Amino acid sequence: MTNQQKLVVAVSSRALFDLDESHRIFEAEGKEAFCQYQIEHEDEVLEPGLGFSLVKKFLAINNESPEDDPFVEIILLSQNSADTGLRIFNSIAHHGLNISRAAFTSGMSPYGYIPAFGAHLFLSANTDDVVKALDAGYAAATILSSCTASQYPDQLRIAFDGDAVLFSDESERIFQQKGLDAFTDNERNSAKIPLTGGPFKDFLQALHYIQKTFGEESSPIRTALVTARAAPAHERVVRTLRDWDIRIDEALFLGGMAKGEFLNAFGADIFFDDQKGHCISAGQHVTAAHVPHGIANEF
């Protein structure tokens, strides 16, 4: 596997570790007090954050790859300085995470380093950074909840919403502006016209590349599409994925039903959705991440 084919995931320090206490100091007392706090506590190990268990499962995929050519690399993107970030790398070492590359930006948004590192996905606790990354054309999401108990400890399970996540929001705009009947008519009439790719298409493609190196039964990754669409609007989705030559292992067309129980049944390690309300509901069952993209996030 070449570096171009490696799956690269960038994660912020606040998504990886619990930095709530130092963040409160930053907001209440300012940058100088925050820096002093971090230096004074740099030998204290940070507790796992909302994205910690997910990062561990990403890294576990490398157990199936050659030692010198891993399938997955995790990059740290942090608004800390290198000086105050020492505690973060100390904690990475303590928890045994194989993370060696990082960008410390001293208060500036780190999203600009996503293409330099070749990252397919950016996970953060900072919505502003996520929006900037999405606006620049990169897959990004704000982690809102965490569920550390995994039904499938030896397999990473990732679930996606469809419109405005895997696909563009072109159909969602019709639904929001003209209603369900107009949406259904459009999807029926456009059934054989592939949807345009959304911000997570390339990330799904990178996952699919790893999956193709394994048989379906032995793949360390399993994916699911969990969408409010129903028949007949499902046909365009199926034909779009076929046109992209990307495999989705499971597809759930729920016709507006709540997604949480289905995500729990799938055993999702993370679920990406453009609607925050769906993420909050799903977060009662699985780790959920909000993708603030498309018409649902314009108002």
Dist. CA 73–CA 98, nearest whole Å: 8
Backbone angles phi and psi of 47, in degrees to 5: -80, 155
Mean pLDDT rounded to a whole number for the chain: 91
Residue 120: is it exposed, middle or buried by C-beta count within 10 angstroms (0-12/13-18/19+)?
buried
Instruction: Say what the pLDDT of residue 299 is.
Output: 65
Among residues 161, 163, 169, 269, the one annotated as catalytic is 161
Dist. CA 189–CA 293, nearest whole Å: 25
Dist. CA 192–CA 185, nearest whole Å: 13
Q: Which of 25-39, 61-75, 99-113, 189-203 has the lowest mean pLDDT?
A: 25-39
Instruction: Say what the pLDDT of residue 35 is.
Output: 81
The gap between the terminal CA atoms of the chain, to the nearest Å, is 43
Instruction: Say what the pLDDT of residue 148 is.
Output: 67
Dist. CA 161–CA 219, nearest whole Å: 22
Structure tokens at 84: 């105050």
Structure tokens at 48: 């796992």
Residue 155: is it exposed, middle or buried by C-beta count within 10 angstroms (0-12/13-18/19+)?
middle
Query: Can 3-142 and 156-297 be said to share one CATH topology?
Result: yes
Residue 3 has pLDDT above 60, yes or no: no
For residue 48, give the nearest of 21, 23, 15, 25 by alpha carbon. 15
For the entire predicted model, the pTM comes to: 0.92
Q: 161 an active-site residue?
A: yes
What is the largest distance, in Å, between two alpha-carbon atoms of the chain?
63
Extents of the domains making up the chain: 3-142, 156-297
Cβ proximity of 197 and 167 under 8 Å:
yes
Dist. CA 254–CA 84, nearest whole Å: 46
Residue 4 has pLDDT above 50, yes or no: no
For residue 156, give the nearest of 100, 200, 214 by alpha carbon. 214
Cβ proximity of 225 and 250 under 8 Å:
yes
Q: What average pLDDT does range 26-42 have in this prediction?
A: 83
Instruction: Say what the pLDDT of residue 156 is.
Output: 96
Q: Count of H helices and E strands in the chain?
A: 13, 10
Cβ proximity of 15 and 122 under 8 Å:
no
Q: What average pLDDT does range 10-37 have in this prediction?
A: 86
Residue 66 has pLDDT above 80, yes or no: no
Which amino acid is located at 299 in the chain?
A: F
Q: Which of 10-24, 123-137, 281-295 has the lowest mean pLDDT?
A: 10-24
Residue 2 has pLDDT above 70, yes or no: no
Q: What percent of the chain has pLDDT over 90?
A: 73
Instruction: Say what the pLDDT of residue 1 is.
Output: 44
Dist. CA 181–CA 21, nearest whole Å: 49
Residue recorded with tokens 């030998």: 43
Q: Which of 37-46, 114-123, 233-242 has the lowest mean pLDDT?
A: 37-46
Instruction: Say what the pLDDT of residue 131 is.
Output: 96
Superfamily of domain 156-297 in CATH is: HAD superfamily/HAD-like (3.40.50.1000)
Cβ proximity of 19 and 132 under 8 Å:
no
Those residues with Cβ within 8 angstroms of residue 261's Cβ, 6 or more apart along the chain or in another chain: 285
- Tens of pLDDT, residues 224-236: 999 999 989 999 9
Pairing relationship of beta strands 250-253 and 221-227 according to DSSP bridges: parallel
- Tens of pLDDT, residues 89-127: 999 999 999 999 999 998 899 999 999 999 999 999 999
**What's the length of the chain?**
299
Question: What CATH number has the domain spanning 3-142?
Answer: 3.40.50
- Tens of pLDDT, residues 256-272: 899 999 999 999 999 99
- Give the CA distances from residue 258 to residues 68, 75, 118, 283, 294, in Å, rounded to whole numbers and listed in that order: 43, 34, 35, 12, 20
- Tens of pLDDT, residues 166-197: 999 999 999 989 998 999 999 999 999 999 99
